[in-house]
Each structure stands twice: as C-alpha cells, then as structure tokens.
C-alpha cells in the first residue's frame, strides 16, 4: 500500500515536470524572461506531499522490512528517473526527509540498504544531503 502510494506520487511528479519541459520555450528563464521550470510550484508541492506521506507511514508503525522497501525506492529514484533533468535535483534533495525512518531499520536491513545506496551513488558524486543519509545508514547498520 505505502509503496504503491509512493510510486504514484513520484510518477505524478515526473509526469508534471515532463509536461513542463515539453511546453518550455527555448528562451524561457534566460535573462530573467519567461518561466523557469525550477520555479514551478510542482517541485515544492511534491516535497510537501512526500513529507506528509512519510510522516503518515512512520506513524503507522511500519516494520523494518517495509521501511527498507520504501527507502530503497526513494534512494534509487534519481537513477530510475534521470529524465526529466529538472526533476533530478529535487529527487536527490527529498532523500533528506527519510532520516527519521532510517532509525527504524534493523541492523540487517540498514546494512542491505547501505550496500545498495553505495552502489547507486558513488561517494565522489554525493551531494551534502546524500552524505547525511549515508552517515545515518552507517550508524543504523552498526547498532
């Protein structure tokens, strides 16, 4: 149930951003003219909806395995949805919303998720939010 809702949220967001990219004019955003895709409210709405979904999920008292599946999807999303490019940064940024859920993971699930995370996102390419997530996963894997 939670994973399906999460996938629908991500798919809807990617669809909205794709439509924006297709409707974009070549000069949009240049020299302050036109509308930049990054300024569209769909990005903030996506982050807010994801935060609300993750809060509801956490309040439902999920098992470690359920948390691992949800987090695995969130962490792999930037690689799975590499297009449209204007959504990529938001897909990375929202990973920071998962840090409280990492604490629910069992040692085994945290270790598995950390292994996948390190494969998906090489250390040299990690953004600050991804470094924080990696650190939280390492801590959970050692508990």
Provide the 10 A C-beta neighbour count for residue 52. 12
Q: What confidence score (pLDDT) does residue 35 get?
A: 66
DSSP H stretches of helix in the chain: 2-23, 41-59, 64-80, 85-93, 99-102, 107-120, 128-142
Give the Cα separation of 106 and 84 in Å (integer). 34
Question: Per-residue pLDDT for the chain (143 aa), expressed as one digit of tens each?
Answer: 899 999 999 999 999 999 988 776 655 555 555 566 677 889 999 999 999 999 999 999 999 999 999 999 999 999 888 788 889 889 999 999 999 999 999 999 999 999 999 998 888 888 999 999 999 999 999 97
Contact 101, 57 (CB under 8 A): yes
């Amino acid at each position: 149930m939670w994973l399906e809702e999460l996938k629908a949220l991500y798919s809807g967001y990617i669809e909205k951003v794709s439509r924006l990219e297709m409707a974009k004019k070549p000069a949009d955003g240049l020299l302050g003219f036109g509308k930049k895709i990054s300024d569209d409210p769909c990005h903030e709405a996506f982050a807010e909806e994801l935060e609300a979904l993750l809060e509801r999920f956490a309040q439902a008292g999920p098992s470690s395995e359920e948390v691992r599946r949800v987090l695995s999807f969130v962490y792999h999303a930037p690689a799975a949805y590499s297009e449209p490019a204007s959504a990529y940064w938001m897909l990375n940024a929202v990973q920071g919303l998962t840090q409280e859920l990492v604490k629910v993971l069992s040692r085994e699930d945290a270790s598995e998720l950390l292994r996948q995370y390190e494969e998906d996102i090489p250390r040299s390419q990690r953004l600050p939010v991804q470094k924080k997530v990696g650190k939280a996963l390492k801590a959970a894997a050692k508990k």
